[in-house]
Amino acid sequence: MQKPKLTSGALPLVGHLFDFIRKQDELLQRGKTEHGNIFALNLMGKNVAVLTGAEAKKVFFKETDKTLNMEEGYEFLAAIFGKVAFLADHSTYMNHRPILHALFSRARMTGYLDVMVEVVSEWMDGLGENGEMEIGSEMIDLVKEVAGRSFLGAEINKQLGADFWQAYDDLSKALDPVLPPHWPLPKFIRRDRAKKYVSSVLYPIVRERRANPQDDPFQMLVDVRMKDGELPSEEIIVQLLMALLFAGHETTAGQAAWTVIQLAQHPRYLKLVRAEVDGVLGKGQDFDHTTLRNLSHVSMAVDETSRMRPSAETIMRTAESDLPVGDFIIPKGWMVQTATAVDHFMGEVFDQPDLYDPLRFSPERAEQKLDSHAIIAFGGGLHKCAGMNFANTEMAVITALLFRNYDLELITPETQVERGLGSSRPSQTWVRFKRRDK
């Protein structure tokens, strides 16, 4: 068995680093074209095996927590949030899982939906009758408010202030899966300063709640017990809160903006969405989970954006021992990753994958069922993102209420994908909006 073959274009010392940052989709497609479903990259001397295609992905998710280690691949996130949940070793993750399950239980999701509708409605009230807005920045502010009210409650979230969320921006800018997170670089120094500030805000809130319980969403996080029966420490609660608030806006904002942009770019499908939204919500119907289930065209639009424009484009692991995959052997110590830029555009799974076509997710077609891991925007297997339903629900609420109340016209002629070492998002995109006639 041979090691995966190296993709062309590697430069001395840095390897494929620049392409990985700026043109990741082209780099990964090049590797697939040159070598098939399994190929290699070099990132500043680190060997990375890229696994694409149904069979290789099965191995990837099956071997997670076995041959494939998550902890090393996400050291750059642990430098922000600490060794908590999936950023810790497997036993610690399993001990923390009941907290995540409680946070995103069906009962909790009902409360979150009410918060989402309330926040989005307030945001639209502030838009007025007509005007122009940059959709990306609007989505960032909107989903921050949803995350804060959902996980902390409206009163605590109101107390946080602008400095708190500015610190989160510094955390976002420090995301870097390539460079060692302990290097004394300016962005890492700002990261550590921001982390210290966010922690200093959250610790007193947690201590106050331990001393004086209240009946609100935040109390549940303080009171829920881990798998071993113990209450989580203050440190664990603060780390989980930091991670929840980060994940609750960092990845969702980009995909929410893209969902709106893609619908505005495709008026034929938008017409189906508009008819559905008017029929389901047109007569003052409350927005509850029954309503949500009836918005199938909205849901399919969200799914198609997750396929074409995912915020998280790769999932990283480290091989703890030699791992055979197909005709290849991945040596111990190599990094191993998936690639949405390849898998979400597989012609053997998706018909005309480069075209925007939400109806591919309809019950009649259900193209995603051809591969158990066809869509990996939220991961897969045991470690599939616990907040996936939260994110999808939030994007559906934003989409349905926005297009129910406003007509949108794109001012920016062509939106690009902006990539870096963190989440990808749309380039600056301006839209003109006008409130629809009642």
Q: How far apart are CA 237 and CA 260, in angstroms?
A: 34
- Note the pLDDT of residue 144: 92
- Note the pLDDT of residue 50: 98
68-69/38-43 β-pairing: unpaired
Higher pLDDT, 161 or 403: 403
- Note the pLDDT of residue 219: 87
pLDDT at 53 over 70: yes
- 81-116: string of b/e by CB count within 10 Å (b at 16+)? bbebbbbbebebbebbbbbbeebbeeebbeebbebb
| Structure tokens that stand for 217 in this block | 């969403």
What are the Cα distances from residue 306, in Å, to 300, 311, 340? 10, 8, 10
Q: Which domains are seen in the chain, by residue range?
A: 17-435 (1.10.630.10)
- Note the pLDDT of residue 367: 97
- Note the pLDDT of residue 382: 82
Q: What is the dihedral of CA 211, 213, 214, 217, to 10 degrees?
A: 110
pLDDT tens digit sequence for 331-382: 999 999 999 999 999 999 999 999 999 999 999 999 999 999 999 999 988 8
pLDDT at 313 over 80: yes
Instruction: Please give the mean pLDDT across all residues of the chain.
Output: 92
Q: Tell me, yes or no, if the pTM score tops 0.75.
A: yes
Contact 47, 335 (CB under 8 A): yes
Q: Residue 146: name the closest of 222, 256, 236, 234 by CA.
A: 256
pLDDT tens digit sequence for 389-422: 999 999 999 999 999 999 999 999 899 999 877 7
pLDDT tens digit sequence for 271-282: 999 999 999 987
Size (the chain), residues:
438
pLDDT tens digit sequence for 208-266: 999 999 877 788 888 999 999 999 999 999 999 998 888 877 789 999 999 999 999 99
pLDDT at 177 over 90: no
Higher pLDDT, 89 or 412: 412
Higher pLDDT, 28 or 84: 28
- Note the pLDDT of residue 284: 67
pLDDT tier for residue 438 given thresholds of 50, 70 and 90? low
Contact 60, 317 (CB under 8 A): yes
pLDDT at 163 over 80: yes
